[in-house]
Structures are given as C-alpha cells and as structure tokens.
Structure 1
Amino acid sequence: MLKTFRVISSVQFQQIRLAHRIRGKAPIYCRTIKERLDELNYKDEVYSTRIDIGLPRIKKSASDSRNERLQHVKNLKTDKNLEQLARNHKLSIDLSEARSDWLKTISPYHKRQIAEHYGVFEHLYGEGYFIPFMNLDIQYNLKNDLFLPVCCGNVIKPAEALEYPTVSYESDGDSLWTLALTSLDGHLTEGEKEYLHWMVANIPGDSVEKGDTIAEYLRPFPLKGTGYHRYVFVLYKQDGHVSYDLPKVIQSSPLEERTFITREWYKQYQDAITPVGLAFFQCDWDQTVRDFFHHTLKTKEPIYEYDFPEPYIRPQEWFPRRKAFNIYMDKYRDPKEINKEYLLTKLKKEDPFKTPPAPLRFPNAHPLPRNMPSWLKLHERKIRLGWGRVNDV
C-alpha cells in the first residue's frame, strides 16, 4: 500500500507532456499571459500621460465621415469615363490636386506620427504635443532657380542651409505669429539644452520679414562624428502682441547666448501663444562646418571619433609553429613599409603602355606549380581573388 501511494504522488507532481518534462512551475501556479504583458507594458500615468497643447481638433461625427466616404466612392463608380480610362490603363492623377487634398485632410496626423517617431515632441515639450493643422511651406534657395523644401525629416546638408529660408503659410493680415528654429542635438556643452538658430516674433500675417527678429538666423553646424542632427521649425499663433523677455541675438553673438529650452520658454508664454505648424529636417557634417568654426567662431572644430586601441601583439617566439612565416613576420613590421614593398612589387609587373591582362574567370581552377611553397600559394590565391592587401593598393 505504501509503494502504491509513492508512485501516485510522483506522477501527480511530475509534469510530463508528450514524453518531455516541463520546466518551471505548473500552469496553475504561473502568471497568465495578460498578467505578464501588463507587467512588461506598465507605464506610470504621471509620466506617460500626453497633453495636447495645440489647437482643438475639428470633431466630426462617425456618421458624417462615413457618409462622405460613401458618397465619394459612389461618385467614382458612377463616372463611366474614369472606369473606361482605368480599364485601358490610361487614368492619370493630378499630383498637385492629390497633395492639396492630403494637406486638407490627414496630413496633420501624418506629420504628428513622424514627429513622434523622431522624438521631436518629447525633446521640445516633454509630455506635450500638438497636431500641426497649419501647413508650413519652408524652402531654402539653392540659387539658379532651385529650391530645397523642408518636409518632415528630410536630409539637408549644411552647405544648402547657409541663409535663412523663405517661409509661407495661409494667414490673414490681422493675426500675429511667432516662428522659431531650434537645434535639438547640437549643443556643445549641455546636451539637454538647445540652440536657438532663428526666432521672429509678432509676424503680421505671413510677412516674416516684417516681424520682430529676436535671434538672427544661424546656419546649422552638426559636429563631425555625431551623426544626424534635428533642426525644427515651429510656428506659434499669438493671441496678441507679445514682448518676449529674451535678449536680442545677432550673427556675431557667442553661442552661449543662443542656449535655449523650448519647454521652459513655452511654459512661460503658454497663455499667449499656441503651436500650430511644424516642419523639421536632418543635417550631418560637411566641409563648410569646419570653415564656420575656423572663420566665424574663431575656434577649433570639435571632432568626435572612435579611439580604437592598438591590437595586442604577443611577444615573438623563437620557433613559431603552424604559422605562415610571412604573415607572422609582418605582424612586427611597420605597416607603411609593408604597403610600400607590396606596391613596388606590383608596379614591377605593370606596363604603362600595355593594357593590364584580364582577370581570370575561374581563379581557383588554374593550378599552381607543385614546387611553390604553401605560404606563396596562399599569397597568390589572395591576389587572384582580390583578398587582403591587394585592395589597399
């Protein structure tokens, strides 16, 4: 009787499924998938709640939106000319009209998604965000009747943004606006702060040139080795004339005077301004940044590079075994001397008045002399296949 009880108890507590033991706790003691997902995706409401600081949304009832879509589809289906052109693959779409419809309908929500993807709202306002209902048309003049637009994250080189761009948007002459351009990633000493590259306040209508320039335009200067920097244009609608408590910044002002924190500045004037428009671009280093530091800022350009430590080379052995002696000896020679030797050896076989021989179609199919040493065979195969040092010359 005692033996039977022991067998039953061992089977009861031993989890066996399809002849395999199950590791971990039994399912009756484990947490459910929902409990596990809730634990992994937990967010504190105090720090994760987002606040809409922009204009209120234009709400439409679900029935009205559904009726508009149904009516649009009905109009397309009843147009026999469109159906005939589509069947014959001759239907063309007016891209300008399609873009106009996009700007009037869902473009603000697309721009908001892109801005959140790049972390623009988080680094500008913290928990705040807004839907850019106002379309900003910003273009840099590249001369020769060429213009480069600022969209939502497109790449613009520093040489293409040397002067302030043209800014246009739909507005009447009675409203006042503020335009600000800040760099989210370019501060040299304080990483959590920004540089104010351009700010114009009390703009009547869309006449940016008639506004009060608080900070003159400063070209982007992303540092070498730091990747892409984000430069953000934000358009604010004013409730009236606003006098910002900011010092006037000119071109020759030091960079310290351009230190800026958008969140603190907006918190101070949030009762008088509302963000309505957004556009931003990315920028990485080019040669003009070095000229800007040397000739404009009169300082040395900071460069960020990887500092690779020198590879460890073990001490030489008296009899290195199972090691090709040419590769082993090259470890302890100057690399410049090796490259020079290899280049001279290669130039001996080159004739400037004859075309070089065509590469072998099947390099490994051509046999090498039997009396050739193994290390030289390996060297010849690398030359034929284009491996190793042959690529450096």
Structure 2
Amino acid sequence: MATSLRVGSACLRDLLRLDGRIIKQQIRQRWKWRHRGRRPEEAKTYVERVAELTKNSPKMINIGFKLPKNKGLELTENKYEVSVKESDESDRMRVDSEEEQLNLRSILNDLWYSYSWSQDQRAVAEHYGLYRDLFHSAYFYPQFPLNIFYEYDSETDTAVYNGNMISPSEVDKKPDVEYNYSPNKMYTLVLTAPDSHLQENKAEYLHWLVGNIPEDNLDKGEELCCYLPPFPVRGTGYHRYVFVLYEQEKKIDFSQVKRPENCVSLEHRTFRMADFYKQHQDDITPVALAFFQSEWDESVTRTFWDKLEMEEPSFEFMHPPPYHPKQVKFPQGQPFNLYLDRYRDVKDLNEEVLKEKLKTASPLSPPPPRPKYPNLVVEGYLPKWLRLKNRHKRLREMHWADLD
C-alpha cells in the first residue's frame, strides 16, 4: 500500500511539473505575440512622422540652373565602339590592349559626367555643409567642373578636388582656373573661407574675388579683392576654402563689394556669400564650385606677420576636469589606496613621485638601468594595498609612470 502511494505521489509530481511547463510555455507564447504601442489605426504613418519632423525645417530652393540633361544619348555610336574578345570559357568581355583600356575608361568618364556627375557634386557639397553655411536654405546644381590648379613646383600642380587636404604652403600663390565657358558670357569667381572668421561664427573671410571675367580669361577680369593665402589658425582643425563661379549676361557694377588695393585688413575682408548673392541675384547665377581643406602649418605664421601685419592667434582646447563620483566612506570591492588616489590633488601625487625619484637620483652618475624583470622581487609580509603600490611602482604604472 505504501509502495502504491509513493508511486502515485511521484506520478502526481511529474504531472504537476509537466502542467507547470505547459503553463509557462503558454505564457511565453502569449507574450511573444503581444503588440506594444498604439494600435495601427491610432499610430502615425511613416509619411506623417516625416512630415512632422520636417515641418519647421526650411525648404531648399534651387538658385541655379536646372539639372543638366543627359548628354550621353547625343554621343555618336562610334565613340562607344570597343574591340573586345570573347573568352571560350565564359561570356565575360575582356579588354586586351592599353589603348582599348584607355578608350573604355574615357567612355565611363563621359557617361559619369553625362548622367550623374552634377548630382554627385551636389551630394558632396551638401555632405560638407557648403550650401548650408554659404547659402543657408538654397542650393544649385554644378553645370560643369571648376578646375583649380596650384603650382607645386616647376613640373607638377596640386589640384583642388572634392575637399582634398592641401597645406597652406602649397596655396601661397594664385591658382590657375579652368572651366567650360559659354561664348559671349561673363563670370565672377569668389574664394571664401566659412570656418576662418576670428570673431563672428556666421561670417566668412574673402580670400579672392574677380568679377566681370570675359569667358575664361581671368587676367581681363576685374580683381575686386586681391588674393590672400589661406591662414587656418593653430588649434582650430581643418578649414574649408570654397571657390564659387557665377555666370552673368552683362557687365555688373561691383563697386559696393570692391576692397582696397592690397587689402590686408581682416575687417575689410569680412564677407557673407548669402548677402553677396542676394545683392546681385538678378544678374548672377551660380554654375560651378570647388573646395579644399587646409590645416595650420608654419607658413601661416609668415602670412600673419608679413602679409596681415598682426600677431598670430593660437587656440587651445580646454579639456573639462575629470569626473569623479561622490566619495563614499566605505568603498566596496576596491583597493582603498587606489580609491583615495583618485580623489587626491594632482600636485600631491606629483610630489610623491618626485620624492621617490630623488631617492635614487645622483648628480654625479647617470640613472641606473631598469632591471630586465622588474617584478621579480621577493617581499616579506606586507599589507595587500602596499604590495599593490610597490608593484605599480616597479612596473611604472598609474601615476608612477613619471619615474622614467
């Protein structure tokens, strides 16, 4: 009878365990398919959320010409003929000679310029914030490449290309400018620096301004502001320098924006591209841009002293003080000496290191060499915190790194 009762109780326990597993599985299954948040008929759609987020953002306006049409369709078929050989093993096309490779490369370049170059240039300019900082809520599609070349030496040039890094010493002189001009059109070229102003965050410095350029002859244009080399101040990182080319139908009176000859005053060179465009928006249209980035080097010092005739400013990043949580009386799980060193004055720590360094320093002999195995030391009984401190001292860890 007792045996049957034990068997019955064991079966009952197994049944209860099985019942509990089934219940838990049902609970998990129910919570797995539980929908959180508002019901679909109450929640906002993706379009509604995007409209709400962009409700207060300014609408971007195209101040230039329309997107250039695809000119690749107008090219003759002979330009796209490439002699290729089909492989017996696969259907892939293989270009053999160097001449055919160059021909194919020029074809791909032409297709890129014809179909997506203008959109790509606008995307690059938006990525670097050029439209935002120069024209605020406006943009334009570059109609053709603006080729800027700085003479590096007698044989090579440095090209400006999509924000590449160029040192100030390489852009000390006027660049050579090339672009695809339209006959009987005039142009205006502006070089401005949106990151370099020393007093106003939303202002720029004008580095070069040439107006009323007949076609692409800059020498016959009217130099409204002489060329000034970039001068990114020490400690301020990379600066953007932007060339913008405007197209115009007739000669324009730029007397209001003309700077004095050999202008070296930063106050006179204060400039705002948006204001310049608004002032002449009925007569000029932006058609091309190019920009590069630059960081301080030694030539900037010479620019400030020799050309701007002023003392060179310098900026230094002030790091915030290190954060330490509020000190507790009984820290748990931390060596108390390291915990207390965290809240000690840095001067006290440096003084402790200096005293330890003076114990072994001698004015008549060089410092002793460090042992090959600095932690191979047999110590007697010491408290754990002191053993840890000596270990850091031997291995030059923590603030003891200054012992060397």
Q: Would you say same fold, with TM above 0.5?
A: yes
2:291 aligned partner? 280
1:298 aligned partner? 310
Query: Are 1:229 and 2:247 matched, yes or no?
Result: no
Q: What SS class does the counterpart of residue 163 from structure 2 fall into?
A: strand
Query: Are 1:59 and 2:69 matched, yes or no?
Result: yes
1:158-212 Cα deviation digits (max 9, x unpaired): 2332222221223367432211001112222222221111001122332223321
Query: Could you tell me how far apart the structure 1 residues matched to 2:298 and 2:285 are?
Result: 38
1:56-106 Cα deviation digits (max 9, x unpaired): 3343599x69x999x96xx67x83268999788978643973684244542
Q: Which has the larger radius of gyration?
A: 2
Amino acid across the alignment from 2:106: E
Contact 2:86 2:93 in 1 (8 A): no
2:280 aligned partner? 269
- Alignment RMSD (CA, Å): 4.5
How much has 1:40 moved relative to structure 2?
4.6
Query: Could you tell me how far apart the structure 2 residues matched to 1:203 and 1:43 are?
Result: 42
Query: Could you tell me how far apart the structure 1 residues matched to 2:387 and 2:208 are?
Result: 65
1:43 aligned partner? 55
How much has 1:216 moved relative to structure 2?
0.6
TM-score (norm 1): 0.72
Amino acid across the alignment from 1:219: P
Structure 1: gaps of 5 or more residues: 1-15
Contact 1:330 1:338 in 2 (8 A): no
Amino acid across the alignment from 2:84: D
Range moving further from structure 2, 298-307 or 379-388: 379-388
Amino acid across the alignment from 1:27: R
1:111-150 Cα deviation digits (max 9, x unpaired): 1100011111122222221111221111222335342221
Query: Are 1:191 and 2:201 matched, yes or no?
Result: yes
Amino acid across the alignment from 1:160: E
Match among 79, 85, 94 for residue 80 of structure 1? 85
1:209 aligned partner? 219
How much has 1:234 moved relative to structure 2?
0.6
Change (3 A) 1:38 1:248: closer
Q: What SS class does the counterpart of residue 55 from structure 2 fall into?
A: coil
1:161 aligned partner? 171
Match among 31, 34, 52 for residue 43 of structure 2? 31
Amino acid across the alignment from 1:80: K
Contact 2:86 2:94 in 1 (8 A): no
Range moving further from structure 2, 172-181 or 80-89: 80-89
Query: Could you tell me how far apart the structure 2 residues matched to 1:262 and 1:240 are?
Result: 21
How much has 1:278 moved relative to structure 2?
0.7
Amino acid across the alignment from 2:152: L
Change (3 A) 1:252 1:54: closer
Number of residue pairs matched? 360
1:143 aligned partner? 153
Query: Could you tell me how far apart the structure 2 residues matched to 1:215 and 1:118 are?
Result: 26
Change (3 A) 1:83 1:196: farther
Query: Are 1:200 and 2:210 matched, yes or no?
Result: yes
Query: Could you tell me how far apart the structure 2 residues matched to 1:68 and 1:386 are?
Result: 74
TM-score (norm 2): 0.70
Change (3 A) 1:264 1:329: closer
Match among 244, 265, 271 for residue 260 of structure 1? 271
Query: Are 1:240 and 2:250 matched, yes or no?
Result: yes
Query: Are 1:97 and 2:106 matched, yes or no?
Result: yes
Structure 2: gaps of 5 or more residues: 1-26
Range moving further from structure 2, 80-89 or 98-107: 80-89
2:186 aligned partner? 176
Contact 1:187 1:195 in 2 (8 A): yes
Query: Could you tell me how far apart the structure 2 residues matched to 1:213 and 1:341 are?
Result: 66
Query: Could you tell me how far apart the structure 2 residues matched to 1:322 and 1:279 are?
Result: 59
Change (3 A) 1:99 1:260: farther
Query: Could you tell me how far apart the structure 2 residues matched to 1:175 and 1:205 are?
Result: 6
Query: Could you tell me how far apart the structure 2 residues matched to 1:391 and 1:353 are?
Result: 15
Contact 2:84 2:93 in 1 (8 A): no
1:4 aligned partner? none
Query: Could you tell me how far apart the structure 2 residues matched to 1:227 and 1:97 are?
Result: 37
2:4 aligned partner? none
Range moving further from structure 2, 212-221 or 306-315: 306-315
How much has 1:385 moved relative to structure 2?
5.9
Change (3 A) 1:322 1:386: closer
Query: Could you tell me how far apart the structure 2 residues matched to 1:374 and 1:112 are?
Result: 65
Contact 1:138 1:168 in 2 (8 A): yes
Amino acid across the alignment from 1:240: K
Contact 2:335 2:385 in 1 (8 A): no
Change (3 A) 1:149 1:59: closer
How much has 1:254 moved relative to structure 2?
1.1
Q: What SS class does the counterpart of residue 202 from structure 1 fall into?
A: strand
Amino acid across the alignment from 1:323: F
